[in-house]
Structure 1
Amino acid sequence: MDNSTFARAGATALWHELPRALAAGAVTLVAAAPLTAALLSGAPRWLAAATVLPVMLALTGVASFAAAVARGDEPSLAALRRVDPVLALLLSVAGFALLTSWGVVPAAAVLIVGPYALAYGAVRGKRGLTAVRGGVILAAYRPTWALTLTGLTVIAAFAVAASAGVLALVVAPLLLTIACRQTTTLLAEIDTVQAGAR
């Protein structure tokens, strides 16, 4: 399976759940309001960095929703309440890292590993450091997929900006559905390899 197949399958699966997906996207949008306000108002950098946490917390819930969509289950909006504060805090390090001159390195690492950490946590029901560890392993196992997903994230950010924020309602659920489908495939592949090695 290539990345375009995952993208099409993710978009199709999400389309069938569009009203709920829009609600999940709205949760992310509301969580991003403090960050947006901080950036637009020229707030101190430390304050803008702190407002990354609500976004990451919302994304852990959206990942649970996206995992159900990726499995083909009927997703419940109750999944949005299944948040992982520890994982959100760990991923929020990107915001605080950017306060330093070398911060672009950990921020880039979070951008690459973050979607897989969120997806792994949601697909396997893992939390905190275990989810981050799973994300690191998946990104290292198939780096081209991780870089493609990172590229999609960057393109999606530009699309949101170009649409004056309209596409923001679908971006997070779509990207996390794609990440969950990739994660499920990668985990099955890794499990098969490990079973063959025994």
Structure 2
Amino acid sequence: MDNLTLPALTWSGATAFWHELPRNLTAGLVLGLSAVPLGAALLAGAPGWVAAAAVLPVTLALTGLAALTADDRGLAALRRVDPVLALLLSVAGLALLAPWGVVPAAAVLLVGPYALAYGAVRGRRGLAALRGGVILAAYRPAWALTLTALTVLGAFAAAASAGVLAPVVAPLLLTIAARQTTALLAEIDTLQGAR
């Protein structure tokens, strides 16, 4: 990618999302189905640990969705899930039961999109994907904060629309994260090659 500005990459991600709208909406609906256990646990007033454990299917679906948004292989990419990364990301759901649980949840919001995108773009899994997400967030913290802000705004938009926008938000954000990750990795590779 020649243009390494945040607005250009965000626009590029949004455009790529739009060009594959039917595929992305289908993937967003699959993600929505994975959230049914979590919604049922929350609506039924289940114990906190049950609701926290119900986050795992959502994070597992997010790893498949990240794989879909990072390449053009079609809906079959949804099957390329990363159980280890999903478990690592869902630990924040369990941590929310503790008084200090806001800190891991904030860390997942900051690093999670880049970890998902890095894992999908570079084919890394588990701890390697999480480590890559941490490195990318530390390399360009302003970009990570912007992506976190977009994630929070997207969550509010999905909630305010009574879930109508929910199938759009995650694929859009992960497509943007994949574009940013590809550009950051190209820049880092160029810097390392120059040394």
Match of 1:35 among 33, 38, 41: 38
Mapped to 2, the partners of 1:126 and 1:66 lie a distance apart of 15
- Tell me if structure 1 keeps the 8 A contact 2:147–2:177: yes
Once the 2 structures are TM-superposed, how far is the Cα of residue 39 of structure 1 from its aligned partner? 1.7
Aligned to 1:51: 54
Match of 1:124 among 104, 118, 122: 122
Match of 2:159 among 152, 161, 184: 161
Mapped to 2, the partners of 1:123 and 1:169 lie a distance apart of 22
Aligned to 2:18: 15
Once the 2 structures are TM-superposed, how far is the Cα of residue 41 of structure 1 from its aligned partner? 2.3
Q: Tell me, which stretches of 5 or more residues in structure 2 are unaligned? A: none
- Tell me if structure 1 keeps the 8 A contact 2:10–2:180: no
Mapped to 2, the partners of 1:4 and 1:92 lie a distance apart of 30
Once the 2 structures are TM-superposed, how far is the Cα of residue 5 of structure 1 from its aligned partner? 2.1
Match of 1:186 among 181, 184, 187: 184
Count of residues in Structure 1 that have an aligned counterpart in Structure 2: 192
Mapped to 2, the partners of 1:158 and 1:182 lie a distance apart of 22
Q: What root-mean-square deviation, in Å, do the aligned CA atoms of Structure 1 and Structure 2 show?
A: 0.9
Mapped to 2, the partners of 1:153 and 1:132 lie a distance apart of 18
Matches within 5 A, 1:47-196: 47-68=50-71, 74-196=72-194
Mapped to 1, the partners of 2:15 and 2:135 lie a distance apart of 27
The C-alpha deviation readout for 1:125-168, integer Å capped at 9, x for no partner, is 00000000000000000000000000000000000011110111
Q: What amino acid maps onto 1:61 in structure 2? A: G
Q: What is the TM-score when the length of structure 1 is the normalising length?
A: 0.94
The C-alpha deviation readout for 1:70-114, integer Å capped at 9, x for no partner, is xxxx44100000000011001111100101001111111011101
Q: What amino acid maps onto 2:130 in structure 1? A: V
Mapped to 1, the partners of 2:147 and 2:42 lie a distance apart of 25
User: Helix, strand or coil for the counterpart of 1:166?
Assistant: coil
The C-alpha deviation readout for 1:41-96, integer Å capped at 9, x for no partner, is 2211100100000000000000010001xxxxx44100000000011001111100
Mapped to 2, the partners of 1:190 and 1:29 lie a distance apart of 35
Mapped to 1, the partners of 2:160 and 2:10 lie a distance apart of 20
User: Helix, strand or coil for the counterpart of 1:130?
Assistant: helix
Moved over 6 A (4+): none
Mapped to 2, the partners of 1:150 and 1:4 lie a distance apart of 15
User: Helix, strand or coil for the counterpart of 1:165?
Assistant: coil
User: Helix, strand or coil for the counterpart of 1:27?
Assistant: helix
Q: What is the TM-score when the length of structure 2 is the normalising length?
A: 0.96
* Percent of matched pairs sharing the same residue: 73
